[in-house]
Every structure is written in structure tokens, then in C-alpha cells.
Amino acid sequence: MENCRIKAFRLFMGISTFFLVLTSCNDDKKKEVDFESLRPKAKTSTAPKVQDSDTTERFLSRLQVDSIQLFFEGFEPDETPHFLDRFSFTKSAKAADGIDRNSDRWIFKKGDFATSFGQWFFKDSLAKKSALYNWLDHFGKDKKSVSLYTRMRLSNENLLILINQKSILSVASSAPIESKKWEAYQRQMHPKDTMMLKIFQRKGNKCDWYKKSGNFTFVKIAI
């Protein structure tokens, strides 16, 4: 009787050991599967989004409304490095072409003339002021120092700079710049971003500084 009990116990232990080994093998397989699922997947690069003809037409038509009346034949992104690009930005509510971004950089074309347009957006007025002073200390290709309200030649082209509450807008062109229309552009496209200061220079002349005199007007600062 004792021998029967010993044999039964050994049989039980053998069966238990078999199931333990089988379970361990299954767990190892599961671990292998889980490990494979955690392997990093190769990243696939996506081609940059190209402006389609409909987007181009919508953008240009928004510039041509009665309140702005800026007429161009076409435009393309301006990828030329700019000093203001190095500062941290906050996204604008909507850029002029309807796309969210931290800055607007375009080259507008009309006949033989090209107009370089840039607008940089900042999280608040203090961040804008810091970027402005840094830019004026390293202005243009020659990185010249520009003091506030100083009449000097800033560019070889016609130049307009609008210093707004939370952004800086710059327009440079060999063609004459219609300052009033770009002011209208700012009011229309970014109505909550109030214009504070204007710098305007005609080609070959020294720049003039203007301060805000009303909701839609500037007055020249006597220097």
C-alpha cells in the first residue's frame, strides 16, 4: 500500500513538472512576441507640403480686398535665414494664408520686382521688445547697431518695419512700398495685434520713425 502511494506521488510530481515547463515555454514565447512589438519602427519621412494653386489664389485674393488692395502675381516661401528666426515664438492665431505657424516669410512677385515680406510672432510684448533690441543691435547684413529714433540708411532697398504689440513685420523691396496698404494688411489679418511704431525708408534715403497717434494713424517723430 505504501508503494502505491509513493508511485502515485511520483506520477503527480512528474505531471506537475511537465505543466510547469510547458507554461514557462509559453511565457518565453509571449515575452519574445512582446519584445518584438516594442522594437522601434523605422521613421518614414514625409515630403513638405507644397502650396497648391487654390491656396495661392485664396492668399492673393485676401491681399486684394478693398481694405488692403495689395496686388501681386505670385509668391513663394522665403527660406533666407533671418536674425529674428533664432528667437522663440508663439503660434499666430492664423497666418495670412490660413495656416498656423510661428512666422510668415514670403517673397511676393510682380513683374520684374520682388518684395520680401516677414512677420515674426512672440508670446508677449516683453519677448517682442527683447527680440527687437537684439535685432537693432545686429541689423542687416553688416550687423550694424541701430539706435531708436535715429535717422540712418538701414537698407539699399525701400524698407518698412511695423513694430506691433506682439509681432514685428518687415517689408523690403526695390519697388516703392505702399505703407498705408501694409498697415491695412496688419489691421485686417491680425486685428488684436496693435501697431505701436513704424520705421519707413525710401530707397537711397535715411529712415523716418513714426509713433502711434490713433487707432489707424501714425505721426512722424521729430529728430
Q: Is the pLDDT of residue 194 over 90?
A: yes
> Is residue 158 helix, strand or coil?
strand
Specify whether 96 is located in the same domain as 115.
yes
Specify the higher pLDDT residue, 7 or 176.
176
pLDDT for 77 equals: 87
Specify whether 6 is located in the same domain as 65.
no
**pLDDT tens-digit series, residues 122-147:** 989 999 999 999 999 999 988 999 99
| Alpha-helical runs (H) found in 38-100 | 53-63
State the cell numbers at 128: 517682442
Specify whether 20 is located in the same domain as 74.
no
pTM above 0.85, yes or no: no
Specify whether 34 is located in the same domain as 60.
no
Listed residues 45, 61, 79: the one ending a domain = 45
Q: How far apart are CA 205 and CA 153, in angstroms?
A: 6
Q: Bridge partners of 121?
A: 167
Specify whether 8 is located in the same domain as 100.
no
Specify whether 63 is located in the same domain as 24.
no
The CA distances from residue 153 to 69, 88, 179, in Å, are 28, 28, 17
Specify whether 80 is located in the same domain as 29.
no
Specify whether 103 is located in the same domain as 60.
yes
Q: How far apart are CA 70 and CA 178, in angstroms?
A: 9
Torsion over CA of 172, 174, 179 and 180, rounded to 10 degrees? Answer: -130
Specify whether 1 is located in the same domain as 84.
no
Specify the higher pLDDT residue, 66 or 42.
66
Q: How far apart are CA 62 and CA 69, in angstroms?
A: 9
Specify whether 33 is located in the same domain as 75.
no
**pLDDT tens-digit series, residues 151-193:** 999 999 999 999 999 999 999 999 999 999 999 999 988 899 9
Q: Which domain holds residue 128?
A: 53-220
Q: What are phi and psi of 156, to 5 degrees?
A: -80, -5
Q: Is the pLDDT of residue 68 over 80?
A: yes
State the cell numbers at 182: 501694409
Specify whether 40 is located in the same domain as 63.
no
Q: How far apart are CA 42 and CA 24, in angstroms?
A: 32
Specify whether 98 is located in the same domain as 204.
yes
Number of structural domains, the chain?
A: 2
- Of 126, 142, 125, nearest to 83 (Cα)? 142
Helix (H) or strand (E) holding 132: helix 125-137
Q: How far apart are CA 142 and CA 26, in angstroms?
A: 71
